[in-house]
Each structure stands twice: as structure tokens, then as C-alpha cells.
Amino acid sequence: QLADFRSYYEATREDINQDMPLSTLLKISNRLKEWHETDYAPVIVPIVDFSAVLQNKNTIAIAARRLASIMKDEKRIRSALPPSKEIVFTQLIKKTQAAIAQAMKLNARAEDALALPDADDAIDVSVDNADMLIRQAYAHFIAMSKLLKK
């Protein structure tokens, strides 16, 4: 089916030339848009959604493993920090835990929505929000690292 999509797109592209009147280009454009909405998107969007959920799941798992690694050394790290930095470190740990936990929930919600019809928007929102939370978690990891270097 992907080969058919490519063939259709290439055939449409070959139909276009610089000497065409605008009305013909508009017809081709409208036909391509209709094809995209009726034939292409219903096949491709679920694949993209599935890939996004799976990729997020892996990214979240990596962040969780990194946090677990930090937590193994938490007592040692905290004892090496002055009290003011220890407080900041503890806050960063809590924020990171919360961000990862919420990202897991959002990605699970997106994964559940994969089985539902017309859930593209819900999946996109959940995946995007989970992504944002994981970026926040990594910002916290960087802040923790900077605390230890100072």
C-alpha cells in the first residue's frame, strides 16, 4: 500500500508543469488533498501514532532508569551537598519523579487510545504532553548534575 501511495504521489507530481493554468493546478491540488484525507491519512496516521507512543514509551523508560540510578546514590549525593543544595536536589528529585510518573500515565492513555477509532487528536495531545514532561525531567537531570559540579 505504501508503494501505491508513492506511485500516486509521483504520478500527480508528473502531471504538474509550469505552463498549466491556475484552475488546473487548483483541481490537481484539491484532488491531492481529497486523496490525502480519504486514502492516505487513514492508513498512515495510525502508524505514526503507534510509532510515537512506542518511541515515547522507550524515552520514558530511559528517563526512569536514569532516575533509578540517581536514587541508588541519593543518600551519598545528599550527604556530599551543603544543606542549601541538598534542599534543591531533593526538590529536583521530587519534580523529576512527578514528571516521569505523569508522562507514564499520559503515554498509557495514548496507548489505550490506539485501539479507539478517531482518537488521533487525543493520542497527539497525550504524546505531546508526555514528551514535554520528559523534557522537563531531563532539564531536572541537568540541574542536578550542575549542583554536583559546583
- Give DSSP secondary structure letters for 59-118: HHHHHHHHHHHHHHTHHHHHHHS-HHHHHHHHHHHHHHHHHHHHHHHHHHHHHHHTTSTT
What type of residue is 91?
Answer: Q
Tell whether the model's pLDDT for residue 7 goes beyond 70: yes
C-alpha to C-alpha distance for 52 and 58, rounded to whole angstroms: 10
Contacts of 145 (CB under 8 A, 6+ apart): none
Q: What is the pLDDT of residues 72-94, one digit of tens each?
A: 999 999 999 999 999 999 999 99
State the pLDDT confidence band at 140, using cuts at 50, 70 and 90.
very high
Residue 81 sits at φ, ψ, to 5 deg, of -95, 145
User: Phi and psi at residue 20, in whole multiples of 5°?
Assistant: -70, 145
Average pLDDT rounded to a whole number, residues 126-144: 97
Residue 30: pLDDT band with limits 50, 70, 90: very high
Residue burial 23-48, b: 16+ Cβ < 10 Å; e: rest: eeeeeeeeebeeeeeeebeeeeeeee
150 band by pLDDT with thresholds 50, 70 and 90: low
Return the percentage of the chain with pLDDT > 90, whole number.
66
This prediction has a pTM of: 0.79
pLDDT of residue 52: 94
